[in-house]
Amino acid sequence: MNPMNNDYVIAVVDDDANIRHLIEAYLRKEHYRTIGLSSAEEAWALWQQDPPHMWVLDIMLPGMDGYELCRRIRQEAEVPIIMISAKDNEVDKILGLTLGSDDYMVKPFSPRELVARVKRQLERWARMRQGTNAAPPAEAAAALQLGELSLLLEERRAFWRGEEVELTAKELLLAKTLAEHPNRAFTRSELLSLVWGEDYFGSDRAVDHLVKRIRKKIDGLPVESVWGHGYRMRTSEERCRP
């Protein structure tokens, strides 16, 4: 059973008090609990002490900006992050997605649309957690092995050449998907559906960014780009194309 809305705490980070209070008002109307913060430094302190379930995060903040805060949070967890900004350039949106945000909204925006996107992200996050925490069938309890990659799915742990590697939930799910079907070329759309969910409406660049993050963590992982198509995981030790 999915938690009720009032079980979720959403942090709203914006140095504009009017915008922050407006977003909080709409979220509270839907029975979410909110915490309003005016700086990334306050938000990072909250994350270290009592992390919320989701973030609505402005980019332009005094001191540390929203990009850096997003990067720090994403290094530690896969909680939903929606970035909001007056910047509407494609470069800014791509940077936000590269750093790990799940969505990006340009000011001014409809508070009702923001609430709808919050609901969608939290529903997807809840499904992902249920799927990851569900007990696997007995035959799947053993490690999924492909070459020097081992995935202990029940324990949510990954090993490369005998060394444990810290992967987020999405990184682990992507690695599992590719490793279960060695040499099969998945399209970006297929991977979006399998990892983010069928109702994901963001850019397929999210797949590229996730693969980039995994490659950075696991040097030599045989994930190969298939030009104009997507990605596959090779069974051999061949060097992957960029």
Could you give the CA distance from residue 203 to residue 79 in angstroms, rounded to a whole number? 18
pLDDT at 137: 40
Which of 83, 110, 133 is where one domain is finished? 133
Same domain, 83 and 194: no
- The total of structural domains in the chain comes to 2
Which of 71, 105, 133 is where one domain is finished? 133
Which of 133, 159, 191 is where one domain is finished? 133
Same domain, 142 and 105: no
Containing structural domain, residue 225: 138-233
Same domain, 19 and 118: yes
Count of CA atoms in the C-beta half-sphere (13 A) of 192: 18
Q: Is residue 239 part of a domain?
A: no
Q: Is residue 70 part of a domain?
A: yes
202 has a pLDDT exceeding 80: no
Among 28-37, 71-80, 135-144, name the most confident range: 28-37
Kindly give the residue spans of alpha helices, DSSP state H, lying in 105-195.
111-133, 169-180, 188-191
Per-residue confidence band for 240, with pLDDT thresholds at 50, 70 and 90: very low
pLDDT at 17: 95
User: Which CATH number does the domain housing residue 117 bear?
Assistant: 3.40.50.2300
pLDDT at 78: 80
Same domain, 103 and 155: no
Mean of the per-residue pLDDT values of the chain: 83
pLDDT at 66: 92
Residue 53 and residue 6 in contact, taking contact as beta carbons nearer than 8 Å: no
Same domain, 94 and 154: no
pLDDT at 123: 87
pLDDT at 237: 46
pLDDT digits (tens, 9 = 90+) for 48-103: 888 899 999 999 999 999 999 998 888 778 889 999 988 777 777 778 777 788 88
pLDDT at 178: 93
Same domain, 27 and 110: yes
